[in-house]
Structures are given as C-alpha cells and as structure tokens.
Amino acid sequence: MNSFQSVRDLLHVWQPEMPVYCVYPHVYIDSTQHFLRGFPGRVLYAVKANDDPAVVRMMHQAGVTDFDCASLPEIALVNENCPGATCFFMVPVRLRGAARIAQEKYGVRHFVVDHPKGLELLAGEIDMQRSVVFARMAVHHNSAIYDLSSKFGAPLKEIPGLIKEIADLGAEPALAFNVGSSVRSPDAYRHALGVAADVLTELPFRLRLVDIGGGYPRSYPGYVMPPLDDYFAAIREGIRDLPLAEGGEILGEPGRALAAPGLTALTEVLLRKDDRLYINDGLYGIFWELRFEGHNRYPVRAYRNGQPLNGGEQRSFRLFGPTCDSTDILPGAVDLPAEIDTGDYLEFGNIGAYSLGGRTRFNGHFSDNIVHIDGKDELPPV
Ligand SMILES: Cc1ncc(COP(=O)(O)O)c(C=O)c1O
C-alpha cells in the first residue's frame, strides 16, 4: 500500500500509466461519523457499495459495528477486517449452503426471506432457534432512482403469513424493506414507514426489529439531492408511531452515502481531439455506474506537472474510455480548463460507491492501484 500526503505529492514521484484510486481516510471517517450521529437507529454498512478492505476497516474504525452482507465472501471480508463486528446476511436468495456456512463458520444470526419456499430453504440450513429472520416486504416510492422492490420483496398481503411461519419455525421474526437506491425524496421513507406501521399494527404480536434498508443519496454535479439530515428527520418522524416490542430498534443499510465520499479516481488524458478527451479509465472500469439512470458525471479537477490546473478559460469536454467499444463514452460532459491536453491528469471525486466493485478486464484494461492520501487538509473534488 502506498501512502502520499497529497495527489500533488503522488504525481511528483509517479506519473502512473494506469488509473490510481485514492482513498482519503479522514474524509471517510468524518462522513461516516456524520451519518452515525444523525441516523436514528443502528447503521449496517452495505458492503456491496465498496468492498475494498481498507474502506471496510475505515467504516469500522469510524464506529460502524454492523454490516449488511450479500454473500459469503463479503461476510469473510468483514470477519477478517473488523474484529467483533456483526454481519447480517440480508439477501433473500443465497447460494446453496451459504447460510449454513455463514452461521456455522461466522456465527451469523440475521437473515432475510421474501417467499415461503425461500424460508423453507433457509430453515433447512440454519438453526432457527438462534436466528432472527426478516420478512422483506415490497415497497416502492417513485422518488427512488433504482426500484429495489421489483426483484425482491413479498407483496404486503403475504407479510403477516410469512412472519407467522418464521415464528412457527422457531426464529425471531422481524420486518425489512428497501425503498430503493438513490432515493430523491425523504418522503419515500415517510411513506414506507407508514406502510410498515399498518402491517405491524395488524400482527398478533410485536416485532423488535425493523430494517429500513439503504437508499440515502449523494449529490453529484447536476444531480443535487436533499441533505441527509432531511432523511434522518423524516425517518425519526416515521418511527415515532411504529408499534414495536420492548427494546425495539430500527436498522438502516446505507451503501452509497458511506462509500461515495472518500474515494477519487486519478486518470491520465491519453489524447485530446478538440473537445474530446480520451482517458485511461471508462465505463468498463471505475465509471461503470454511469451506464445506469441517475447522475451522469462526477466532480473533477485537473493537474499538470503535479500541480492543480485551474483558473483561466473553461470549456466543456466529452470523456472517452480506453476500450474499443464505441459505447465506452461517459454520458455527462465536464467543464475543465480549456488548455487541458494529453499527459494531464484528471481526478474524479465522490466516486467510492458502486465503482471499484464493477471494474472489468474488458479489452485488457484493469487497474488495482489503490493508494491513501493522508494529508489532513487534502479534500477530494466536490
Ligand atoms: C438490500 C440492500 N441494502 C442496502 C443497499 C444499499 O443501498 P444504497 O447504496 O442505495 O444505500 C442495497 C443496494 O442495492 C440493497 O440491495
């Protein structure tokens, strides 16, 4: 692992041909602690958003003690890197045998189902008596960019039956939902918590745990979201009237909100053709999330000869990835100094969520250069 005080220092001693991904530890610690202070419940970091071991360790160091895992490798990663942490296996369809190993080898006690057959499969692998099993209900709000209820989640009318079956099999039943990812309005949580309150009220017994999932957004250029504090306020309001058992608790599974802020991607301009910049990373690499609906660019700053290149005339540029594929074009144009040219570097900020995990080897391009920027006054582009 290489550490530098700043990107300027890095470029002073190294002009990397391949992209370099820069972790800013103090940014991760600060932003995670802000989330922990504001969220009115227990925070489970959704490891899928960024599973770099150092980033996962930073979440733990910042105070996250619980992790939302989607697979055995994610559970193993948390186990190795975060001593004493608790893993929740929060995906309703798992590889055969994965729940058994999660419980026997890693002591996992929390699982989720959204179908009676899925419950039967789970019950065949784990000791239900020492487990908590969430019934995931489908709930969507049109302010979510990605609908996470079109694939998983039982229809509302099936939830009471599923909860009863979980209890009959000896596990503690709980309720889970996911309003979506990149949720644009806090109303989505108000709405879902209202639905949850109706479901909970109808049950013949009180549940202790409600997992309200992920979806807490980040702002990107041209894609400005309400502040996280507005979401926390909506959730605080929504849980006030939730009928829960004694010792009841709300859980949340933020991915993007925790993973995005502390990582940047440092790329080189390989060629300039007028207002087109061909760079050494693209949609098959760190920028893969830009294929989907949502934000279309990241904040960016330029460097020449190891120094920030700013001031002067600005111009709008289109960015092209390094592969032969003609769809490997970043969707959003970015404003940069008009003099930008071949050999300059571009650092993209706020890129820590759903980026490292999506890199492919397409066309033979793959970078695993990950460094730390330790200067306490250094901030990523925003
Ligand atoms: C079950 C579950 N929890 C949490 C998340 C994290 O969502 P976000 O990154 O929007 O917070 C996801 C995202 O896909 C998810 O599927």
How many Å lie between the centroid of ligand 1 and the Cα of residue 178? 7
Tell me, in angstroms, the distance from the centre of ligand 1 to residue 254's CA: 6
186, part of any domain: yes
Same domain, 344 and 197: no
274: Cβ contacts below 8 Å, ≥ 6 apart: none
Are 211 and 251 in contact by the 8 Å Cβ rule? The answer is: yes
Query: What is the DSSP secondary-structure string of 312-327?
Result: S-EEEEEEE-SSS-TT
Domain count, the chain: 2
Q: Domain end: 193, 224, 259, which one?
A: 259
Do β-strands 263-273 and 110-113 pair in parallel, antiparallel, or remain unpaired? unpaired
Mapped onto helix, strand or coil, the DSSP state of residue 290 is helix
Q: Do 120 and 234 reside in the same domain of the chain?
A: yes
Q: Say how many Å lie between the CA of residue 326 and the centre of ligand 1.
A: 30
Atom of ligand 1 nearest to the CA of 214: 11
Q: In this structure, are residues 298 and 220 in contact, taking their beta carbons and an 8 Å threshold? A: yes
302 shares its domain with 194: no
Q: Which of 305, 245, 264, 278 is nearest to 13 (CA)?
A: 305
User: Which of 235, 259, 283 is the endpoint of a domain?
Assistant: 259
Is the separation of the CB atoms in 265 and 347 below 8 Å?
Answer: yes
pLDDT of residue 82: 98
Q: Say what the pLDDT of residue 46 is.
A: 98
Whether residue 136 is found in the same domain as residue 195 = yes
Q: Which of 233, 259, 285 is the last residue of a domain?
A: 259
Q: Examine the domain organization and report whether 286 and 349 are in the same domain.
A: yes
| Residue of 247, 218, 236, 261 lying closest to 349 (CA atoms) | 261
Can you tell me which atom of ligand 1 is nearest the CA of 180?
10
Q: Can you tell me the distance from the alpha carbon of 69 to that of 76, in angstroms, rounded to the nearest whole number?
A: 10
What was the pLDDT predicted at 141?
Answer: 75
Mark whether 79 and 192 lie in a shared domain: yes
Per-residue confidence in pLDDT tens, the chain, 382 aa? 599 999 999 999 999 999 999 999 999 999 999 999 999 999 999 999 999 999 999 999 999 999 999 999 999 999 999 999 999 999 999 999 999 999 999 999 999 999 999 999 999 999 999 999 999 999 977 776 767 678 899 999 999 999 999 999 999 999 999 998 889 999 999 999 999 999 999 999 999 999 999 999 999 999 999 999 999 999 999 999 899 999 999 999 999 999 999 999 999 999 999 999 999 999 999 999 999 989 999 999 999 999 999 888 999 999 999 999 999 999 999 999 999 999 999 999 999 999 999 999 999 999 999 999 999 999 999 9
What pLDDT, in 10s, does the model give residues 217-237? 999 999 999 999 999 999 999
Note whether residue 39 is domain-resident.
Answer: yes
- From the CA of 49, how far away is ligand 1's center (Å)? 8
Tens of pLDDT, residues 38-49: 999 999 999 999
Task: Name which residue sits closest to atom 15 of ligand 1, judged by CA.
Answer: 214
Residue nearest to atom 14 of ligand 1 (CA): 181
The reply to whether 380 falls in a domain is no
pLDDT at 1: 57
One domain for residues 323 and 250: no
183 and 84 belong to one structural domain: yes
Number of other residues whose CB lies within 10 A of the CB of residue 271: 13
Tell me the backbone φ, ψ of residue 163, rounded to 5 degrees.
Answer: -65, -40
> What letters, b where the CB count within 10 A reaches 16 and e where it falls short, cover 124-158?
ebbebeebbbbbbbbbbbebbbebbbeebbbeeeb
Distance CA(86)–CA(78), nearest Å, equals: 8
- Asked if 52 and 78 count as a contact pair (C-beta separation under 8 A), the reply is no
Say how many Å lie between the CA of residue 180 and the centre of ligand 1: 7
Range of the domain at 308: 2-22+262-373
User: Which residues' Cβ are closer than 6 Å to ligand 1?
Assistant: 46, 49, 68, 90, 148, 178, 181-182, 213-216, 253-257
pLDDT for 144 equals: 67
Nearest CA to ligand 1 atom 7: 214
